[in-house]
């Protein structure tokens, strides 16, 4: 039987009229303690609390690693991320995420679901600005210096089939296993999947010609470079693609 630490000790005597000495004693002891040592509070703007490295402050971005797959846009619960056009160091036009910190809920989903670990969490939490426009963090501003390994959040999952096989120590992320599959009957060879793929994992392969003499193109997926961003699945006009979930 479990003991009850508090209920077995209290209440002892019900009638304690004007019994105020013990709390006064407690209070005086705390007074003495805080006069000798310092109180437990900190002077906030001058001193700051210790924060662990994985503290979920604003999102941070590794500009070079990002492939603009839009996974963060899809997963954001508050819809505060969108992809905008910008330029990288060598002047090429690229698309990178922009975060509206005013709407951001600091849930860390963008970092968790980033297939290439380009989005991270950062311990930066002082985000007040004077205007709402200032709260919108463009891709360049989103870059955080000094991203360490702990700030990346990896999506480490275990397959239920692995547990049954006794291989329970293996950790996979869905971006490694889940791959798009084609229902060839629905495909109309529009090449849209090839266009939207951020990592160029889709190649259109010719499978003969149709009755009008046009080539029939079916997409083929490079399983090594695919990051399972689901852009092709979502943009397919005929719903010919779906993700094969490995469980």
Partner 1 sequence: MTYSSILDWIQFGDVMSNPFYPYQTYNLPFDIGYKLWEIIGGLIAWLINLIFPGNGVSTWLISPEVSNMFALVLFMVIIFAVAFVVTLISLWMERKVLGRIMDRRGTMVGLKGFMQCIADGLKTFMKENTIPKKVDKMTYMWTVSLIIGTSVLIACMVPLSPRWFVVNYGTGLLVIMALFALAPFFILVSGWAQNNKYSLIGGMRAAELMISYEVPMLIMIATTCLLAGSFNINDIVNMQSDTVWFFIPQIFGFITFIFCATAEAERVPFDIAEAEAELVEGWQTEYAGMKWGLIMLADYMRGYVSCAMVVIMYLGGWLIPFVSEGVNGWIPEIVFLLKVWFVFFIMIVLRGALARVRTDQIVNIGWKVFMPLSVVNFAVVLLLKVGGVF
Partner 2 sequence: MMSKDVADIKSEASPIDTDKMWVIMGPQHPFSHGLWTLKAQLDGEIVTDAEPIIGYLHRGWEKECENRTYPKIIPMADRLCYAASMTYTHLYCMTVEKALGIDVPDKAKYMRIMADEVCRIQSHLMWLAAVGTDLGNLTVFLWAMREREFFMDINVRLCGARMTTNFPRIGGVRNDVDEEFMMYAARCVDRFEKAVWDIISLIDDSSTFVSRMRGTGYLTREACANLGITGPAMRGTGVDFDIRRDDPYDNYDKVDFDVPVLKDGDSYARYMVRIEELFQSCKIIKQTLQKIKAIGKNAPYRFKVPSKVPAGRAFTRLEDPRGESAMYLVSDGTDKPYRLKVRSPIFVNVSASKPLVQGSRIADVPVIMAMIDMCLGETDR
CB of 46 to partner 1, least distance (A): 10
Residue 4 contacts which entry, partner 2, partner 1, none (Cβ below 5-8 A, type-dependent): partner 2
The contacts of residue 107 (CB under 8 Å, 6+ apart) are: 56, 77
The listed partner (partner 2, partner 1, none) that binds 109, CB under 5 to 8 Å by sort, is: partner 2
- Written as six digits, the tokens of 148 are 């360490």
Question: Who's near 204: CB < 8 A, 6+ residues apart?
Answer: 189, 191, 194, 217, 218, 219, 220
Element (H, E) at 241: strand 241-244
Contacts with partner 1 by CB under 8 A lie at 17-18, 20, 23-24, 26-28, 30-31, 34-35, 39-41, 43
Contacts of partner 2 in 134-163 (CB under 8 A): 153, 156-160, 162-163
Q: What is the β-pairing status of strands 93-100 and 179-182?
A: unpaired
Q: Is residue 99 within 8 Å of 63, Cβ to Cβ?
A: no
The interface mask with partner 2, positions 168-187, x = CB under 8 A, is xx--x-x--x----------
Complex with partner 2: residue 161 or 210, whichever CB lies closer: 161
Q: Is residue 10 at the binding interface for partner 2, with CB under 8 A as the rule?
A: yes
Instruction: Show the tokens assigned to 197.
Output: 């793929």
How far is C-alpha 131 from the geometric centre of its chain's CA atoms?
A: 26
Please give, one letter per residue, the 3-state secondary structure of 105-127.
Answer: CCCCHHHHCCCCCCEEECCCCCC
Q: Which residue, 45 or 52, has its beta carbon nearer to partner 2?
A: 52
Q: Binding residues for partner 2, per CB under 8 A?
A: 1-7, 10-11, 14, 16-20, 22-23, 26-27, 30, 40, 51-52, 54-56, 75, 77, 105-109, 112, 121, 153, 156-160, 162-163, 168-169, 172, 174, 177, 245-247
């Amino acid at each position: 039987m479990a003991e009850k630490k508090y209920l077995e000790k209290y209440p002892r005597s019900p009638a304690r009229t004007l019994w105020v000495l013990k709390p006064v004693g407690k209070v005086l002891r705390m007074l003495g303690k805080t006069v000798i040592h310092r109180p437990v509070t900190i002077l906030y703007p001058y001193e700051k609390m210790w924060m662990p490295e994985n503290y979920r402050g604003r999102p941070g971005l590794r500009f070079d690693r990002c492939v603009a797959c839009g996974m963060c846009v899809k997963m954001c619960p508050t819809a505060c991320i969108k992809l905008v056009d910008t330029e990288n160091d060598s002047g090429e036009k690229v698309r990178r995420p922009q975060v509206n910190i005013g709407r951001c809920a600091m849930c860390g989903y963008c970092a968790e679901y980033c297939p290439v670990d380009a989005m991270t969490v950062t311990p930066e939490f002082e985000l007040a600005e004077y205007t709402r426009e200032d709260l919108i963090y463009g891709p360049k501003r989103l870059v955080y210096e000094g991203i360490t390994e702990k700030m990346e959040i990896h999506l480490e999952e275990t397959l239920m089939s692995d547990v049954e096989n006794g291989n329970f120590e293996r950790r996979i992320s869905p971006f490694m296993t889940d791959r798009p599959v084609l229902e060839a009957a629905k495909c109309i060879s529009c090449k849209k999947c090839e266009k939207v793929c951020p990592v160029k994992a889709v190649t259109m392969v010719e499978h003969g010609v149709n009755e009008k003499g046009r080539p029939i193109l079916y997409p083929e997926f490079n399983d090594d470079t695919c990051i399972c961003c689901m852009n092709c699945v979502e943009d397919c006009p005929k719903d010919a693609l779906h993700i094969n979930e490995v469980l």
